[in-house]
Amino acid sequence: MKESVAAWLSGSQAQETAVFLLGNVPGLPPIAQSLHILGIAVVMSSTVMIHLRILGLAAPSQQISEMIGRLMPWTWWALLVNAITGLLFVVGRPNRYFFNPVFGWKFMCLVPAVAIALVIYRMNRREPGYWEHTAARVHSARAMAVVSLLLWIGVVLAGRWIAYTDYLYFLYE
């Protein structure tokens, strides 16, 4: 599957465009990367603060339901920025990413992390205060918060390690 996506992108018009933009727009690579980090800052702080609140570790005076409604739209917008700025590089050099195991790990963390965020957001939207109404929901929210915190940390760490697979020699043995 990833082989065919990489092959389809290689030599495509999209790849040529991305390579042209990255090579010819002055400063585009660091600008796109900086926006990507800014997006990470918004995603991390919005989701992490909600999770820490759910776990009772931060912002005790703020309401969980209000925080979810207020902060998570920022998460979605920032994820969109990250998707666009990230795709620029993936489309430009598909083989560098699709055949990189660390890139795969990043998405193995990212997909469930976004799924958990969506569940938390949607249920709270359907019924404000959803995650506080019964003991069972409080417990499942806490479990999701712990898993999600670890997943987001994994996304960030793996994201940075994509450029350093050389150090992970055990991958090539």
Region for residue 10 given its phi and psi (left: phi exceeds 0; alpha: psi -120 to 50; beta: otherwise): beta
Euclidean distance between CA atoms 102 and 90, whole angstroms: 13
Our finding on whether 28 is near another protein (CB under 8 A) is: no
8 A C-beta contact, residue 156 and residue 40: yes
List the one residue from 22, 42, 81, 138 that touches another protein (CB under 8 A). Answer: 42
Q: Which stretch binds another protein (CB under 8 A): 14-22, 59-67, 82-90, 127-135?
A: 59-67
Cβ 124 to another protein shortest distance, Å: 16
DSSP 121-166: HHHHHHSTTGGGSSHHHHHHHHHHHHHHHHHHHHHHHHHHHGGGGG
Q: Which two tokens stand for residue 64?
A: 């969980």
List the one residue from 3, 16, 66, 127 that touches another protein (CB under 8 A). Answer: 66
List the one residue from 4, 13, 24, 61 that touches another protein (CB under 8 A). Answer: 61
Q: What's the one-letter identity of residue 124? A: N
8 A C-beta contact, residue 60 and residue 151: no
Q: Which is nearer to another protein, 4 or 61 (CB)?
A: 61
Q: Which stretch binds another protein (CB under 8 A): 60-68, 88-96, 121-129, 136-144?
A: 60-68
Residues forming the site for another protein (CB under 8 A)? 29-31, 33-34, 37-38, 40-46, 48-49, 52, 58-62, 66, 70-71, 153, 156-157, 159-161, 163-164, 167-168
